[in-house]
Structure 1
Amino acid sequence: MNPVKRILVAEDQTDIRDLLVLNLRAAGYEVSETRDGLSALAQHTETPCDLLVLDLMMPGLDGLELCKTLRAKGDTTPILMLTAKATELDRVLGLELGADDYLTKPFSLAELLARVKALLRRADQLRVALAAQASSNDASTTLVNGELEIQPVKRLVKVQGEPQDFTALEFDLLMHFAQHPGHVYSRAQLLSAVWGYSHDGYEHTVTTHINRLRAKLETDPLKPEIILTVRGAGYKMRECPVTKA
Protein backbone atom coordinates (compact mmCIF):
# COMPACT_ATOMS: atom_id res chain seq x y z
CA MET A 1 0.00 0.00 0.00
CA ASN A 2 1.35 3.41 -0.94
CA PRO A 3 1.97 5.78 1.98
CA VAL A 4 -0.42 8.68 2.39
CA LYS A 5 0.88 11.80 0.68
CA ARG A 6 1.57 14.77 2.92
CA ILE A 7 0.59 18.25 1.75
CA LEU A 8 1.39 21.60 3.36
CA VAL A 9 -1.07 24.42 2.68
CA ALA A 10 0.23 27.96 3.28
CA GLU A 11 -2.58 30.48 2.83
CA ASP A 12 -3.27 33.58 4.93
CA GLN A 13 -7.00 33.81 4.18
CA THR A 14 -8.67 31.63 6.80
CA ASP A 15 -11.78 30.75 4.80
CA ILE A 16 -9.78 29.65 1.75
CA ARG A 17 -7.25 27.76 3.87
CA ASP A 18 -10.00 25.91 5.74
CA LEU A 19 -11.71 24.98 2.49
CA LEU A 20 -8.49 23.67 0.99
CA VAL A 21 -7.58 21.65 4.06
CA LEU A 22 -11.07 20.17 4.35
CA ASN A 23 -11.21 19.03 0.73
CA LEU A 24 -7.64 17.75 0.56
CA ARG A 25 -8.20 15.67 3.68
CA ALA A 26 -11.46 14.39 2.23
CA ALA A 27 -9.46 13.30 -0.82
CA GLY A 28 -7.26 11.14 1.41
CA TYR A 29 -4.20 13.36 1.93
CA GLU A 30 -2.47 14.15 5.20
CA VAL A 31 -2.59 17.94 5.43
CA SER A 32 -0.82 20.48 7.61
CA GLU A 33 -1.53 24.19 7.41
CA THR A 34 -0.14 27.62 8.16
CA ARG A 35 -0.91 31.25 7.34
CA ASP A 36 2.56 32.58 6.55
CA GLY A 37 5.67 31.71 4.58
CA LEU A 38 8.16 31.67 7.45
CA SER A 39 6.10 29.11 9.33
CA ALA A 40 5.69 27.07 6.14
CA LEU A 41 9.46 27.02 5.64
CA ALA A 42 10.03 25.92 9.24
CA GLN A 43 7.38 23.18 9.06
CA HIS A 44 8.62 21.81 5.75
CA THR A 45 12.24 21.87 6.94
CA GLU A 46 11.36 19.94 10.10
CA THR A 47 8.98 17.49 8.42
CA PRO A 48 9.32 17.47 4.62
CA CYS A 49 6.06 17.11 2.74
CA ASP A 50 5.26 15.68 -0.68
CA LEU A 51 3.62 18.83 -2.06
CA LEU A 52 3.44 22.52 -1.15
CA VAL A 53 0.37 24.62 -1.90
CA LEU A 54 1.50 28.24 -1.50
CA ASP A 55 -0.44 31.46 -1.66
CA LEU A 56 1.40 34.11 -3.66
CA MET A 57 0.78 36.89 -1.13
CA MET A 58 1.48 35.95 2.49
CA PRO A 59 2.85 37.85 5.48
CA GLY A 60 6.46 37.38 6.55
CA LEU A 61 7.62 35.51 3.48
CA ASP A 62 5.45 35.47 0.39
CA GLY A 63 4.96 32.49 -1.91
CA LEU A 64 7.47 33.68 -4.50
CA GLU A 65 10.24 34.22 -1.96
CA LEU A 66 9.51 30.91 -0.25
CA CYS A 67 9.65 29.13 -3.60
CA LYS A 68 12.92 30.87 -4.46
CA THR A 69 14.41 29.96 -1.06
CA LEU A 70 13.52 26.28 -1.37
CA ARG A 71 14.82 25.95 -4.92
CA ALA A 72 18.08 27.69 -3.97
CA LYS A 73 18.54 24.99 -1.32
CA GLY A 74 18.06 22.27 -3.92
CA ASP A 75 14.60 21.33 -2.64
CA THR A 76 12.63 19.88 -5.58
CA THR A 77 9.33 19.31 -3.74
CA PRO A 78 6.44 20.04 -6.15
CA ILE A 79 4.95 23.51 -5.62
CA LEU A 80 1.46 24.63 -6.62
CA MET A 81 1.16 28.42 -6.41
CA LEU A 82 -2.16 30.13 -5.69
CA THR A 83 -2.57 33.71 -6.82
CA ALA A 84 -5.33 36.30 -6.78
CA LYS A 85 -3.51 38.15 -9.55
CA ALA A 86 -4.28 37.23 -13.13
CA THR A 87 -1.54 39.04 -15.02
CA GLU A 88 0.88 37.04 -17.13
CA LEU A 89 3.79 38.67 -15.29
CA ASP A 90 2.70 37.16 -11.97
CA ARG A 91 2.33 33.74 -13.56
CA VAL A 92 5.73 33.93 -15.21
CA LEU A 93 7.41 35.09 -12.00
CA GLY A 94 6.08 32.11 -10.11
CA LEU A 95 7.28 29.69 -12.76
CA GLU A 96 10.63 31.43 -13.18
CA LEU A 97 11.35 30.99 -9.48
CA GLY A 98 10.68 27.27 -9.64
CA ALA A 99 6.96 26.72 -9.04
CA ASP A 100 5.67 23.66 -10.88
CA ASP A 101 2.18 24.98 -11.51
CA TYR A 102 -0.24 27.70 -10.45
CA LEU A 103 -3.96 28.40 -10.09
CA THR A 104 -5.55 31.83 -10.29
CA LYS A 105 -8.29 32.61 -7.75
CA PRO A 106 -11.15 31.93 -7.90
CA PHE A 107 -10.64 28.31 -8.93
CA SER A 108 -12.77 25.19 -8.73
CA LEU A 109 -11.95 22.59 -6.10
CA ALA A 110 -12.15 19.91 -8.77
CA GLU A 111 -9.43 21.68 -10.74
CA LEU A 112 -7.28 22.09 -7.64
CA LEU A 113 -7.56 18.40 -6.80
CA ALA A 114 -6.73 17.46 -10.40
CA ARG A 115 -3.57 19.61 -10.30
CA VAL A 116 -2.52 18.16 -6.93
CA LYS A 117 -3.02 14.60 -8.19
CA ALA A 118 -1.06 15.31 -11.38
CA LEU A 119 1.89 16.89 -9.53
CA LEU A 120 2.12 14.04 -7.04
CA ARG A 121 1.87 11.48 -9.85
CA ARG A 122 4.71 13.20 -11.73
CA ALA A 123 6.89 13.14 -8.63
CA ASP A 124 6.24 9.41 -8.13
CA GLN A 125 6.94 8.64 -11.79
CA LEU A 126 10.19 10.58 -11.60
CA ARG A 127 11.38 8.59 -8.58
CA VAL A 128 10.55 5.31 -10.29
CA ALA A 129 12.24 6.36 -13.53
CA LEU A 130 15.41 7.48 -11.76
CA ALA A 131 15.58 4.24 -9.80
CA ALA A 132 15.11 2.19 -12.97
CA GLN A 133 17.74 4.16 -14.86
CA ALA A 134 20.22 3.91 -12.04
CA SER A 135 19.91 0.11 -11.96
CA SER A 136 19.93 -0.43 -15.73
CA ASN A 137 22.89 -1.11 -18.00
CA ASP A 138 22.25 2.26 -19.66
CA ALA A 139 22.73 4.23 -16.44
CA SER A 140 25.67 6.10 -17.92
CA THR A 141 23.91 6.92 -21.22
CA THR A 142 24.16 10.49 -22.45
CA LEU A 143 21.79 11.81 -25.11
CA VAL A 144 23.56 14.05 -27.61
CA ASN A 145 21.90 16.41 -30.10
CA GLY A 146 24.56 18.63 -31.64
CA GLU A 147 26.01 20.82 -28.89
CA LEU A 148 23.31 19.66 -26.45
CA GLU A 149 24.13 16.84 -24.00
CA ILE A 150 21.66 15.31 -21.56
CA GLN A 151 22.53 12.83 -18.81
CA PRO A 152 19.12 11.46 -17.72
CA VAL A 153 20.16 9.74 -14.49
CA LYS A 154 22.07 12.75 -13.19
CA ARG A 155 19.45 15.07 -14.69
CA LEU A 156 22.36 17.05 -16.04
CA VAL A 157 22.22 19.24 -19.14
CA LYS A 158 25.24 20.71 -20.92
CA VAL A 159 25.23 23.19 -23.78
CA GLN A 160 28.53 23.46 -25.61
CA GLY A 161 30.09 21.64 -22.68
CA GLU A 162 28.78 24.07 -20.05
CA PRO A 163 26.32 22.78 -17.40
CA GLN A 164 22.96 24.55 -17.25
CA ASP A 165 20.50 24.59 -14.35
CA PHE A 166 17.00 23.31 -15.05
CA THR A 167 13.95 22.96 -12.83
CA ALA A 168 12.31 19.51 -12.65
CA LEU A 169 9.59 20.50 -15.12
CA GLU A 170 12.03 22.16 -17.51
CA PHE A 171 14.14 19.00 -17.54
CA ASP A 172 11.13 16.74 -18.10
CA LEU A 173 9.95 18.93 -20.97
CA LEU A 174 13.42 18.92 -22.54
CA MET A 175 13.67 15.13 -22.19
CA HIS A 176 10.30 14.71 -23.85
CA PHE A 177 11.55 16.64 -26.87
CA ALA A 178 14.98 14.96 -26.86
CA GLN A 179 13.49 11.47 -26.89
CA HIS A 180 11.34 12.37 -29.91
CA PRO A 181 13.40 14.72 -32.12
CA GLY A 182 11.46 16.05 -35.09
CA HIS A 183 8.08 15.11 -33.60
CA VAL A 184 5.70 18.07 -33.47
CA TYR A 185 3.67 18.53 -30.28
CA SER A 186 0.83 20.94 -29.67
CA ARG A 187 0.74 22.82 -26.39
CA ALA A 188 -2.22 20.69 -25.28
CA GLN A 189 -0.26 17.49 -26.00
CA LEU A 190 2.75 18.75 -24.05
CA LEU A 191 0.55 19.82 -21.15
CA SER A 192 -0.92 16.33 -20.99
CA ALA A 193 2.35 14.43 -21.49
CA VAL A 194 4.65 16.45 -19.24
CA TRP A 195 2.38 18.14 -16.70
CA GLY A 196 -0.03 15.24 -16.53
CA TYR A 197 -3.30 17.07 -17.10
CA SER A 198 -5.23 18.88 -19.79
CA HIS A 199 -7.22 22.02 -19.12
CA ASP A 200 -8.27 24.84 -21.40
CA GLY A 201 -6.80 28.20 -20.50
CA TYR A 202 -3.50 26.92 -19.10
CA GLU A 203 -1.65 26.11 -22.31
CA HIS A 204 0.31 29.37 -21.95
CA THR A 205 2.11 27.58 -19.10
CA VAL A 206 3.73 25.49 -21.84
CA THR A 207 4.68 28.60 -23.80
CA THR A 208 6.37 30.06 -20.73
CA HIS A 209 8.42 26.91 -20.20
CA ILE A 210 9.38 26.75 -23.88
CA ASN A 211 10.69 30.32 -23.58
CA ARG A 212 12.65 29.35 -20.48
CA LEU A 213 14.21 26.36 -22.27
CA ARG A 214 15.24 28.56 -25.17
CA ALA A 215 16.80 31.13 -22.85
CA LYS A 216 19.07 28.39 -21.50
CA LEU A 217 19.70 26.40 -24.68
CA GLU A 218 19.80 28.83 -27.58
CA THR A 219 22.58 31.17 -28.65
CA ASP A 220 19.82 33.60 -29.68
CA PRO A 221 16.47 32.73 -28.03
CA LEU A 222 14.68 34.96 -30.55
CA LYS A 223 16.07 32.81 -33.39
CA PRO A 224 15.90 29.31 -31.91
CA GLU A 225 17.78 26.45 -33.54
CA ILE A 226 17.09 23.64 -31.04
CA ILE A 227 13.48 23.99 -29.86
CA LEU A 228 11.59 25.07 -32.96
CA THR A 229 8.13 26.55 -33.47
CA VAL A 230 6.01 24.87 -36.13
CA ARG A 231 3.54 27.58 -37.09
CA GLY A 232 -0.04 26.58 -36.43
CA ALA A 233 0.97 23.19 -35.00
CA GLY A 234 3.21 23.50 -31.97
CA TYR A 235 6.86 22.80 -31.14
CA LYS A 236 9.55 20.25 -31.90
CA MET A 237 13.21 19.59 -31.23
CA ARG A 238 15.34 19.91 -34.35
CA GLU A 239 15.64 16.74 -36.36
CA CYS A 240 19.36 16.37 -35.78
CA PRO A 241 19.51 12.68 -34.75
CA VAL A 242 19.90 12.14 -31.03
CA THR A 243 22.81 9.78 -30.37
CA LYS A 244 23.75 7.89 -27.24
CA ALA A 245 27.26 8.33 -25.91
Structure 2
Amino acid sequence: MHVLVVEDDGDYATALAQLFSAAGFETESVADGASALTHVDRVETHLVILDLILPDQDGLDVCSALRSRGFEGGIVIMSGRGEELDLVSGLDAGADDYLVKPCSIAELQSRVRSVLRRIHRTYVPTAEGPLRGSRLEVVDHHIAFGGTEIATRGREFDVLALLIEARGRVVLRETLMDEVWGPDWNGSQMVLPSAVGRIRSRLEAAGATEQVENVRGVGFRLSPA
Protein backbone atom coordinates (compact mmCIF):
# COMPACT_ATOMS: atom_id res chain seq x y z
CA MET A 1 0.00 0.00 0.00
CA HIS A 2 1.43 3.35 -1.08
CA VAL A 3 1.41 6.46 1.13
CA LEU A 4 2.31 9.95 -0.06
CA VAL A 5 3.38 12.55 2.51
CA VAL A 6 2.88 16.14 1.32
CA GLU A 7 4.87 18.31 3.72
CA ASP A 8 7.35 21.14 3.14
CA ASP A 9 9.04 20.78 6.55
CA GLY A 10 11.83 18.36 5.68
CA ASP A 11 12.35 17.00 9.19
CA TYR A 12 8.63 16.48 9.76
CA ALA A 13 8.23 14.82 6.36
CA THR A 14 11.13 12.48 7.07
CA ALA A 15 9.71 11.52 10.46
CA LEU A 16 6.30 10.74 8.95
CA ALA A 17 7.81 8.77 6.08
CA GLN A 18 9.89 6.70 8.51
CA LEU A 19 6.82 6.07 10.66
CA PHE A 20 4.78 4.73 7.75
CA SER A 21 7.69 2.77 6.32
CA ALA A 22 8.22 1.08 9.69
CA ALA A 23 4.54 0.09 9.63
CA GLY A 24 5.04 -1.68 6.31
CA PHE A 25 3.82 0.99 3.89
CA GLU A 26 5.61 2.00 0.72
CA THR A 27 6.15 5.71 1.37
CA GLU A 28 7.28 8.76 -0.56
CA SER A 29 7.22 12.46 0.28
CA VAL A 30 6.96 15.68 -1.72
CA ALA A 31 7.23 19.29 -0.59
CA ASP A 32 4.60 21.12 -2.65
CA GLY A 33 1.13 20.79 -4.12
CA ALA A 34 2.11 20.54 -7.78
CA SER A 35 4.45 17.63 -7.04
CA ALA A 36 1.71 15.92 -5.06
CA LEU A 37 -0.76 16.09 -7.94
CA THR A 38 1.86 14.86 -10.41
CA HIS A 39 2.82 11.99 -8.13
CA VAL A 40 -0.76 10.78 -7.66
CA ASP A 41 -1.32 10.94 -11.43
CA ARG A 42 1.71 8.72 -12.03
CA VAL A 43 1.77 6.38 -9.03
CA GLU A 44 -1.12 4.36 -7.62
CA THR A 45 -1.55 5.97 -4.21
CA HIS A 46 -3.79 4.72 -1.43
CA LEU A 47 -3.32 7.39 1.24
CA VAL A 48 -2.22 11.04 1.19
CA ILE A 49 -1.02 12.80 4.34
CA LEU A 50 -1.48 16.46 3.47
CA ASP A 51 -0.22 19.66 5.07
CA LEU A 52 -2.23 22.81 4.36
CA ILE A 53 0.55 25.38 4.33
CA LEU A 54 2.57 24.59 1.21
CA PRO A 55 4.99 26.84 -0.70
CA ASP A 56 3.04 26.91 -3.97
CA GLN A 57 -0.64 26.63 -3.01
CA ASP A 58 -3.06 26.02 -0.18
CA GLY A 59 -3.42 22.39 0.79
CA LEU A 60 -7.21 22.75 0.58
CA ASP A 61 -6.84 23.42 -3.15
CA VAL A 62 -4.66 20.33 -3.47
CA CYS A 63 -7.29 18.27 -1.67
CA SER A 64 -10.07 19.56 -3.94
CA ALA A 65 -7.94 18.96 -7.03
CA LEU A 66 -7.24 15.37 -6.01
CA ARG A 67 -10.94 14.64 -5.64
CA SER A 68 -11.85 16.43 -8.87
CA ARG A 69 -9.31 14.23 -10.68
CA GLY A 70 -11.06 11.14 -9.35
CA PHE A 71 -8.69 10.19 -6.54
CA GLU A 72 -10.59 7.74 -4.32
CA GLY A 73 -7.88 6.98 -1.79
CA GLY A 74 -7.72 8.36 1.72
CA ILE A 75 -6.74 11.95 2.47
CA VAL A 76 -5.72 12.92 6.00
CA ILE A 77 -4.96 16.59 6.57
CA MET A 78 -2.33 17.40 9.19
CA SER A 79 -2.10 21.11 9.92
CA GLY A 80 -1.31 23.64 12.59
CA ARG A 81 -4.55 25.41 11.67
CA GLY A 82 -6.91 24.12 14.32
CA GLU A 83 -10.03 26.28 14.23
CA GLU A 84 -13.35 24.51 13.69
CA LEU A 85 -13.80 26.41 10.41
CA ASP A 86 -10.49 24.97 9.19
CA LEU A 87 -11.63 21.45 10.02
CA VAL A 88 -14.99 21.84 8.29
CA SER A 89 -13.32 23.43 5.24
CA GLY A 90 -10.91 20.50 5.02
CA LEU A 91 -13.70 17.94 5.15
CA ASP A 92 -15.74 19.93 2.63
CA ALA A 93 -12.73 19.87 0.30
CA GLY A 94 -12.81 16.08 0.36
CA ALA A 95 -10.52 15.06 3.21
CA ASP A 96 -11.41 11.95 5.19
CA ASP A 97 -9.94 13.25 8.42
CA TYR A 98 -8.25 16.30 9.91
CA LEU A 99 -5.53 16.26 12.55
CA VAL A 100 -4.14 19.32 14.30
CA LYS A 101 -0.37 19.45 14.77
CA PRO A 102 1.23 18.43 16.98
CA CYS A 103 -0.52 15.12 17.46
CA SER A 104 0.60 11.87 19.03
CA ILE A 105 1.78 8.91 16.99
CA ALA A 106 -0.97 6.81 18.55
CA GLU A 107 -3.66 9.27 17.43
CA LEU A 108 -2.26 9.44 13.90
CA GLN A 109 -2.13 5.66 13.65
CA SER A 110 -5.70 5.36 14.92
CA ARG A 111 -7.04 7.90 12.43
CA VAL A 112 -5.16 6.29 9.54
CA ARG A 113 -6.52 2.84 10.43
CA SER A 114 -10.03 4.29 10.42
CA VAL A 115 -9.54 5.85 6.98
CA LEU A 116 -8.07 2.66 5.54
CA ARG A 117 -11.02 0.68 6.90
CA ARG A 118 -13.32 3.06 5.03
CA ILE A 119 -11.41 2.58 1.79
CA HIS A 120 -11.66 -1.20 1.97
CA ARG A 121 -15.14 -1.47 3.47
CA THR A 122 -17.64 -3.26 1.25
CA TYR A 123 -21.38 -2.73 1.59
CA VAL A 124 -23.94 -5.26 0.44
CA PRO A 125 -26.06 -3.79 -2.36
CA THR A 126 -29.71 -3.15 -1.58
CA ALA A 127 -31.83 -6.16 -2.50
CA GLU A 128 -33.79 -5.98 -5.72
CA GLY A 129 -37.48 -5.27 -5.42
CA PRO A 130 -40.40 -3.49 -7.07
CA LEU A 131 -38.91 -0.08 -6.26
CA ARG A 132 -35.45 -0.87 -7.62
CA GLY A 133 -34.15 2.15 -9.54
CA SER A 134 -36.63 4.54 -7.93
CA ARG A 135 -34.82 4.81 -4.61
CA LEU A 136 -31.27 5.15 -3.38
CA GLU A 137 -29.10 2.05 -3.56
CA VAL A 138 -25.56 1.02 -2.70
CA VAL A 139 -24.01 -0.66 -5.73
CA ASP A 140 -20.33 -1.60 -5.99
CA HIS A 141 -19.23 0.95 -3.39
CA HIS A 142 -21.21 3.73 -5.07
CA ILE A 143 -24.53 5.41 -4.33
CA ALA A 144 -27.03 5.22 -7.18
CA PHE A 145 -30.48 6.61 -7.87
CA GLY A 146 -32.46 5.56 -10.91
CA GLY A 147 -29.40 3.82 -12.30
CA THR A 148 -27.28 6.98 -12.09
CA GLU A 149 -24.37 7.33 -9.69
CA ILE A 150 -24.53 10.12 -7.09
CA ALA A 151 -21.03 11.39 -6.43
CA THR A 152 -19.97 11.36 -2.78
CA ARG A 153 -16.68 12.38 -1.22
CA GLY A 154 -14.82 11.38 1.90
CA ARG A 155 -17.10 10.00 4.57
CA GLU A 156 -20.33 11.10 2.91
CA PHE A 157 -20.52 7.65 1.34
CA ASP A 158 -20.24 5.87 4.69
CA VAL A 159 -22.91 8.04 6.32
CA LEU A 160 -25.35 7.65 3.44
CA ALA A 161 -24.70 3.91 3.06
CA LEU A 162 -25.55 3.35 6.73
CA LEU A 163 -28.75 5.39 6.38
CA ILE A 164 -29.74 3.43 3.27
CA GLU A 165 -29.13 0.17 5.13
CA ALA A 166 -31.45 1.39 7.91
CA ARG A 167 -33.93 3.00 5.50
CA GLY A 168 -36.90 4.48 7.39
CA ARG A 169 -35.33 3.89 10.81
CA VAL A 170 -33.52 6.46 12.91
CA VAL A 171 -29.76 5.95 13.17
CA LEU A 172 -28.42 7.48 16.36
CA ARG A 173 -25.84 10.24 16.10
CA GLU A 174 -23.55 8.22 18.34
CA THR A 175 -23.85 5.20 16.05
CA LEU A 176 -22.97 7.22 12.96
CA MET A 177 -20.01 8.85 14.69
CA ASP A 178 -18.67 5.50 15.95
CA GLU A 179 -19.19 3.65 12.66
CA VAL A 180 -17.86 6.37 10.35
CA TRP A 181 -15.31 8.33 12.38
CA GLY A 182 -14.48 5.63 14.91
CA PRO A 183 -15.03 5.39 18.67
CA ASP A 184 -11.73 7.16 19.36
CA TRP A 185 -12.66 10.31 17.42
CA ASN A 186 -11.94 13.36 19.57
CA GLY A 187 -12.32 16.07 16.95
CA SER A 188 -15.26 18.35 16.34
CA GLN A 189 -18.76 16.85 16.48
CA MET A 190 -19.64 19.20 13.60
CA VAL A 191 -18.20 16.71 11.11
CA LEU A 192 -21.47 14.74 11.07
CA PRO A 193 -23.94 17.60 10.42
CA SER A 194 -21.47 19.02 7.91
CA ALA A 195 -21.42 15.72 6.01
CA VAL A 196 -25.22 15.44 6.19
CA GLY A 197 -25.58 18.95 4.77
CA ARG A 198 -23.44 18.04 1.78
CA ILE A 199 -25.35 14.78 1.29
CA ARG A 200 -28.67 16.64 1.26
CA SER A 201 -27.39 19.01 -1.41
CA ARG A 202 -26.21 16.11 -3.56
CA LEU A 203 -29.51 14.23 -3.23
CA GLU A 204 -31.51 17.34 -4.07
CA ALA A 205 -29.35 18.06 -7.12
CA ALA A 206 -29.84 14.46 -8.31
CA GLY A 207 -33.62 14.71 -7.95
CA ALA A 208 -33.68 11.83 -5.47
CA THR A 209 -37.06 10.87 -4.05
CA GLU A 210 -35.52 10.31 -0.61
CA GLN A 211 -33.83 12.76 1.72
CA VAL A 212 -31.94 12.69 5.03
CA GLU A 213 -34.19 13.79 7.87
CA ASN A 214 -32.85 15.23 11.11
CA VAL A 215 -34.60 13.75 14.14
CA ARG A 216 -33.77 16.49 16.60
CA GLY A 217 -31.60 15.40 19.49
CA VAL A 218 -31.61 11.76 18.37
CA GLY A 219 -30.10 11.14 14.95
CA PHE A 220 -30.91 10.90 11.25
CA ARG A 221 -33.00 8.72 8.97
CA LEU A 222 -33.59 8.32 5.26
CA SER A 223 -37.20 9.20 4.44
CA PRO A 224 -39.27 10.05 1.34
CA ALA A 225 -38.46 13.59 0.20
Query: TM-score interval w.r.t. the shorter chain?
Result: 0.7 to 0.9
* Equivalent residue, structure 2, for 1:47: 43
Query: Does the alignment pair 1:190 with 2:190?
Result: no
| Match 2:144 to one of 157, 161, 175 | 157
Q: Could you tell me how far 1:179 is from its partner in structure 2?
A: 0.9
Query: Does the alignment pair 1:56 with 2:52?
Result: yes
Cα RMSD for the two superposed structures: 3.0
Query: Does the alignment pair 1:233 with 2:202?
Result: no
* Equivalent residue, structure 1, for 2:157: 171
Q: Secondary structure at 1:99's aligned position in 2? A: coil
1-side partners of 2:189 and 2:130: how far apart? 28
* Equivalent residue, structure 2, for 1:204: 190
How high is the TM-score relative to the length of structure 1?
0.77
1-side partners of 2:6 and 2:169: how far apart? 40
Determine if contact 1:178/1:237 at 8 Å carries over to the other structure: yes
How high is the TM-score relative to the length of structure 2?
0.83
Determine if contact 2:46/2:74 at 8 Å carries over to the other structure: yes
The 1:12/1:79 distance shift into structure 2, 3 A limit, reads: same
Query: Does the alignment pair 1:99 with 2:95?
Result: yes
Determine if contact 1:9/1:34 at 8 Å carries over to the other structure: yes
Which ranges in structure 2 are unaligned for 5 or more consecutive residues?
none
Q: Describe how 1:1-245 pairs up with structure 2 within 5 A.
A: 5-126=1-122, 129=123, 141=128, 148-153=135-140, 155-158=142-145, 164-218=150-204, 226-238=211-223
- Work out the percentage of aligned pairs sharing the same amino acid: 34
AA partner of residue 43 (structure 2): T
Determine if contact 1:142/1:149 at 8 Å carries over to the other structure: no
